[in-house]
Chains A and B, each alone.
Chain A
């Protein structure tokens, strides 16, 4: 057996590349029909839960477009799938070997051949509605302007599809973002506080209350603590915006892509 191990070792010297120094091919080397079929299966398991079975977005970005915002070429797409996107919900696909990542990338490219998402509204009007009639800025900020209770929206158009955004405006609690949790508590001396959880551990809880103030509590001081999973302080805009206004607001949100 020692001999086998030695043989393996010398094989390793010949073949193994230095980690981190692997060159990514510019073009996808796995583009056969069977690669695409395998890519589709992998996509449905690993990617569809966020990007949708047709890749037209949802919690994840819309991939059914000819040009991907974060992946201008195949090598960049490979890299995004492999490493993820920092500071977003997109994780790296450590569970796939390179060939599988290429197969997924190949399949993702085919999604762009479908028609582009139809976003009929007027984004300029949408911005006005966002600021005034909807008073969305009370809780959401764009480019540093606005409230802090709700998620920051500067890049929201690069992360969410129009359909998803529309659905969220109509029924916010169907799409509460990962990591966003409303908490309600009552202290032993009878104070009631609710807000967005900032942090929590076994012994303490920090939240931002409804007036944007950070608050801190020891759990042993609490009489009640409720994690309102799936709850959102955002109202439905069904009765606030008309259909046309809703389309305008969605068009505005879709146009928010930060520096992308």
Chain B
């Protein structure tokens, strides 16, 4: 009896305890989805293989959870029978994975005078030990008790009144919580932060825009660095072997008036490699020096080991908003290969260092300049996926141009600081696709066309499938090897999120947010 009780207690303590070791070895427990991108390498790949090309037609919804109103971009986490989601504006809900019924809710009252460019969105939580962490739209980092939703820590990350907000899912690394911030349309100064999980106190901050005199400040004309933005609003990746946090940065501010900020504008539109313990910058790679089109490089960096130019290397695969796909060396940050990802009209190509060779006169103008890709770009915050089964990199891409306008940019704290804007191309019907790329070169293996440019990420699985979503509300499955359409479900609301997969009672499930709902699917007999 005594032993029985003891084992019960032990089981209870272990369940729900998301240790760093579990996070590092996430691939060994595919029944759970422990972090935003599924593993530290951000593969968004499920090693579950119950759902296959042969049986995916039997996939049916098993429950639907209706969220609070607002745009839902959350990636759920699933940990030992509990699904953790975020709801607009900055709420967290724990759901029973068997029934879809809430176990607890954390509901945050947010200020009425928020300064937000693009909706009160949130992309999910991080889990570490017995806490779940959420960044809020009013720029707080909150730690909640994973069992009860009670607030353990509430730390002010930045001042929301000057335009800072948190929309990304945090990333738990060792004993720290890494978080990026948003506000690139308000002339804020970007940063990546790390907080001690044990205390909620800040451990380090890396400013993405150097102050006058610091290395990189020479890439900003005059005092333009003061409103340089370079925000960090999408969750990055982690390389345990090098102890490096790999995190993308956003556009320089003001977005479309590049004339007021001459220079390359470091570290905007970069991938940063930061020491996870200290925040020290180890290397950086800038995709779009002196960006004038709002092409944030806040896409998810995917880490793999692979062969490029005949050599086995540690790689980073990066599909960028600017219209190009990149393969970088993870140890040095050096450019290895690149290729055009969508139609683009602003660069002749990439040089040997991966720097774009610009075509003259393609920056925004007062009269309007037609450029491909559009402001939302070739791809955006929604996640790509790398399949260990097919060895392919999957990415949702947007084929769309835009008319870019340059305007005035007067900085006032907390007021939109765009310096222009954009419109669609009159008479054009933009479209999208899921593309499967060879990781080393970016060559397209196959393409599945979508009616409109997507805002949803992809998940690949060991069952040989790729899941994705459309603006028109379709959640779908493709054959990972051929791109053939295998299954679809009309969810009734735009899919603006990333899919995940996990086990519930031994059965593989797939979950996606669409419209104002979380939908969970499993095979029916």
Chain A interface (Cβ < 8 Å from any Cβ of B): 1, 4-5, 8-9, 11-13, 15-16, 18-19, 41-42, 44-46, 49, 91, 93-97, 99-100, 178, 199-203, 227, 229-230
B410 CB contacts on chain A under 8 angstroms: 97, 99
B476 CB contacts on chain A under 8 angstroms: 202-203
Chain B interface (Cβ < 8 Å from any Cβ of A): 112-115, 159, 161-162, 189, 207, 211, 226, 256, 365-368, 405, 407-410, 412-416, 418, 420-423, 426-427, 429, 449-451, 470, 472-474, 476, 485, 488
B408 CB contacts on chain A under 8 angstroms: 97, 99-100
- A257 to chain B: closest CB distance in Å? 25
- A45 to chain B: closest CB distance in Å? 4
Residue of A nearest to B227 (CB): A8
List of 7 A-B pairs having minimum Cβ-Cβ separation, nearest first: A95-B421, A201-B472, A12-B413, A45-B367, A16-B414, A202-B451, A45-B368
Question: Are B413 and A9 neighbours in the complex by a CB distance under 8 Å?
Answer: yes
Question: Are A202 and B367 neighbours in the complex by a CB distance under 8 Å?
Answer: no
Q: Among A45, A199, A200, A230, point to the contact of B405 (Cβ < 8 A).
A: A45
B226 CB contacts on chain A under 8 angstroms: 4
**Complex CA–CA separation, A227 to B427 (angstroms):** 13
B485 CB contacts on chain A under 8 angstroms: 203
Question: Are A45 and B365 neighbours in the complex by a CB distance under 8 Å?
Answer: yes
Question: Are B161 and A41 neighbours in the complex by a CB distance under 8 Å?
Answer: no
Q: Among B366, B413, B429, B474, point to the contact of A202 (Cβ < 8 A).
A: B474
- B396 to chain A: closest CB distance in Å? 12
Q: Among B162, B420, B473, point to the contact of A201 (Cβ < 8 A).
A: B473
Question: Are A202 and B449 neighbours in the complex by a CB distance under 8 Å?
Answer: yes
Question: Are B407 and A202 neighbours in the complex by a CB distance under 8 Å?
Answer: no
B421 CB contacts on chain A under 8 angstroms: 93-96
**Complex CA–CA separation, A64 to B118 (angstroms):** 35
**Complex CA–CA separation, A96 to B156 (angstroms):** 32
Question: Are B488 and A203 neighbours in the complex by a CB distance under 8 Å?
Answer: yes
| 19 new A-B contacts at CB < 8 Å, known A95-B418, A201-B474, A202-B449 | A1-B211, A8-B162, A12-B161, A13-B161, A15-B412, A44-B367, A45-B365, A45-B367, A46-B368, A46-B405, A91-B423, A99-B408, A99-B410, A200-B451, A201-B451, A201-B470, A202-B450, A202-B474, A202-B476
B405 CB contacts on chain A under 8 angstroms: 45-46, 95
A11 CB contacts on chain B under 8 angstroms: 413
B368 CB contacts on chain A under 8 angstroms: 45-46
**Complex CA–CA separation, A16 to B421 (angstroms):** 22
Residue of B nearest to A59 (CB): B426
Question: Are A95 and B161 neighbours in the complex by a CB distance under 8 Å?
Answer: no
**Complex CA–CA separation, A16 to B415 (angstroms):** 7
Residue of B nearest to A22 (CB): B415
- A120 to chain B: closest CB distance in Å? 31
A201 CB contacts on chain B under 8 angstroms: 451, 470, 472-474
Question: Are A5 and B470 neighbours in the complex by a CB distance under 8 Å?
Answer: no
A12 CB contacts on chain B under 8 angstroms: 159, 161-162, 413-414
Question: Are B470 and A8 neighbours in the complex by a CB distance under 8 Å?
Answer: no
- A71 to chain B: closest CB distance in Å? 21
Residue of A nearest to B404 (CB): A95
**Complex CA–CA separation, A229 to B427 (angstroms):** 9
- B138 to chain A: closest CB distance in Å? 13
- B257 to chain A: closest CB distance in Å? 10
**Complex CA–CA separation, A105 to B226 (angstroms):** 32
- A211 to chain B: closest CB distance in Å? 26
Q: Can you list 13 A-B contacts with CB-CB less than 8 angstroms, sorted by A residue number? A: A1-B189, A5-B159, A8-B413, A42-B366, A45-B365, A97-B408, A100-B407, A178-B426, A178-B427, A202-B450, A202-B472, A202-B488, A203-B476
- B155 to chain A: closest CB distance in Å? 15
B114 CB contacts on chain A under 8 angstroms: 19
Question: Are A45 and B113 neighbours in the complex by a CB distance under 8 Å?
Answer: no
